[in-house]
Structure formats: C-alpha cells, structure tokens
Amino acid sequence: MKIYLAGPDVFLPDAIEIGRRKVDICARHGLTGLYPLDNAVDLSAGDASLTIFKGNEAMMDAADAIIANLTPFRGPGADAGTVYELGYMAGRRKFLLAYSNDPATYADRVARFDKVTQSASGLTDSDGLAVEDFGWPDNLMMIHALDLHGCPLVTPKQALSDIWHDLAAFEACVGLAADRAKGKSS
C-alpha cells in the first residue's frame, strides 16, 4: 500500500528529516510512504510552486491512501494545503487517515485566539461568526470524511510537549493502514 504523507511538516526547519522518519515508520509496517516534494524543488525557479503542485498531485494519484497531519497550523484549524489534499483524496475515493497532535476541541482552540461568546443562538467569535461547537477537534467536513471514508481522526490522550516532532499518533495511523492493507490482501 502506498500512502501519501500530507502535512505542514514540509514547512519545518527539519522537514526532510521528518519526512525520512515518516517513510521509515511506514516501511517498518510494510508500507510505502510518499512524502511531498516541497523540499526537493529549486525554490528560486520561476515555476517552483507549479512544479510542487504537479508533483504532489501525481504522488496523490499514485497513492492508495493518505495520512494527513491536521495539527493546528497558524490558527485554530489545520493547514489549508493539507486539508485540500485530504479532500482531493476523498474525491479520488482513496482511503483516508489523519491525526492531530492537539486533542482540544475546535471551540477551545478558537478561544485561544479570540473572545468567544455563548448565547441562545450558539457560540460566536468576536466578529459575530458562528463557531462550530460539536465537540470535534476541527471542521466537521474533515472529521466525518475520515469517519465515513477511512478511520476516525487519531489524537493523543493529552497535550504533547512537541506537537511537530512527536510521531506516536502518526504511527497509530500507519498501524491502521497496515491493518487495512492486510484485510485487503487476505
């Protein structure tokens, strides 16, 4: 089974090393991890971003599954590029897996950045926009896509000290993918 390894990990200073660790974990479970190309492209080239896009899309098309890192990124929710890729793989009818290294609910995450108000009509932010308050860690579209088209979002039982380098929840996803691969081949 080939698994596309989506996440804002590509923006870390040690992005290439994290990618190697993730691919190694996949290999230990008998799976092939495909890590996005963002760091394998000459960023000074005029068409660098298009080259990254085309490479990542081809990698997703070649993969059987995705493991998306939905750890909150620059705000209360997941990285947009990663969420796009999760949606793309859902549309391609691939097997969906994801983790978030932040176990908090979305409402609690919004409250870290903004003043939220509870009223009879529900929870709102300081701009008066509704805050999803279903008790899920992120937007319902991702949460239920995982429930229905893969495995439920994996989160740690408690907050982690290093949300960008702890790969326990990632490895739990790899284990679920390996179970799925065995089920398919048996």
Beta carbons of 70 and 153 less than 8 angstroms apart: yes
Site string for its own copies, 108-137 (x = CB under 8 A): --x--xx-------x-xx--xxxxx-x-x-
Output the CA–CA distances (angstroms, integers) from residue 54 to 3, 57, 60, 61, in the order listed: 17, 5, 10, 11
Between CA 146 and CA 167 the distance in angstroms is: 19
Closest of 146, 168, 26, 1 to residue 83, by C-alpha = 146
Quick one: 144 or 184, whose CB is closer to its own copies? Answer: 144
Phi, psi of 62, rounded to the nearest 5 degrees: -80, -15
Between CA 27 and CA 124 the distance in angstroms is: 45
Choosing from 32, 75, 117, 179, the residue that interacts with its own copies (CB under 8 A) is 75
Bridge partner list, 4: 34, 66
Do the bridges between strand 117-119 and strand 122-124 make them parallel or antiparallel, or are there none, so unpaired?
antiparallel
Quick one: 129 or 186, whose CB is closer to its own copies? Answer: 129
Interface region with its own copies, contact rule CB under 8 A, candidates 17-25, 26-34, 46-54, 169-177? 46-54
Quick one: 136 or 178, whose CB is closer to its own copies? Answer: 136
Amino acid letter, residue 181: A
Of 1-20, which residues contact its own copies (CB under 8 A)? Answer: 8, 10-13, 15
State the nearest-atom distance from the C-beta of 58 to its own copies, in Å: 12
Quick one: 59 or 174, whose CB is closer to its own copies? Answer: 59
Binding site for its own copies (CB under 8 A): 8, 10-13, 15, 43, 48-50, 52-54, 56-57, 73-81, 83-93, 110, 113-114, 122, 124-125, 128-132, 134, 136, 138-145, 147-148
